[in-house]
């Protein structure tokens, strides 16, 4: 992994409001350290600049790896994954009525949910607890 300065890491975390920019979890609820993700991997020419970096949880980073595209389960077409610097989260995703399941609004949203396993059973169980305690979804108004 290429080096990202401590100052840049803090700026990326602050911009993300401390939430994973993919699944919208927070480290205090997951019990996991979060990390910097190169949206376009360095192996594919991505750079250590703010516009190519996002804050994400261990699991989203693990499932994403070097992917930048995935198959939309509805159309079976290869589409770009959600890009936190270019795309608006609300444009591609929404929460289910009960606040536990991410729903893809677009081919990119659906493909990202599948590729990063954003509705995996253990995360759904955790979100149910978070919702019950008023801790999720993070952007409720």
Q: List, for residues 69-102, the tens digit of each pLDDT value.
A: 999 999 999 999 999 999 999 999 999 999 999 9
Q: Which residue has the tokens 């290869």?
A: 78
Look up residue 54 and give its two tokens.
């996002």
Tell whether the torsion through CA atoms of 3, 40, 16 and 21 is positive or negative: negative
Closest listed residue to residue 24, CA positions, set 121, 141, 135: 135
> DSSP label at 35?
E
- CB of 57 closer than 8 Å to CB of 13: no
Q: pTM for the complete prediction?
A: 0.93
Which helix H or strand E contains 89, and what residues bound it? helix 89-92
d(CA 65, CA 7): 24
Model pLDDT, residue 2: 63
Model pLDDT, residue 32: 87
Model pLDDT, residue 57: 95
| Residue 83 main-chain phi, psi, to 5 deg | -115, 105
Q: Is the model's pLDDT at 141 over the cut of 70?
A: no
């Amino acid at each position: 992994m290429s080096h990202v300065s401590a100052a840049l890491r803090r700026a990326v975390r602050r911009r993300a409001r401390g939430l994973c920019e993919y699944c919208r979890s927070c480290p205090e609820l997951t019990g996991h350290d979060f990390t910097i993700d190169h949206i376009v991997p360095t192996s594919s020419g991505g750079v250590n600049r703010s516009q190519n970096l996002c804050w994400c949880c261990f699991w989203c980073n693990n499932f994403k790896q070097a992917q930048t595209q995935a198959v939309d389960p509805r159309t079976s077409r290869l589409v770009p994954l959600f890009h936190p610097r270019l795309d608006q989260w609300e444009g591609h995703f929404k929460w289910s009525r009960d606040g536990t399941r991410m729903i893809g609004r677009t081919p990119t949203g659906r493909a990202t949910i599948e590729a990063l396993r954003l509705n995996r059973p253990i995360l759904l169980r955790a979100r149910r607890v978070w919702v019950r305690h008023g801790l999720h979804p993070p952007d409720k108004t």
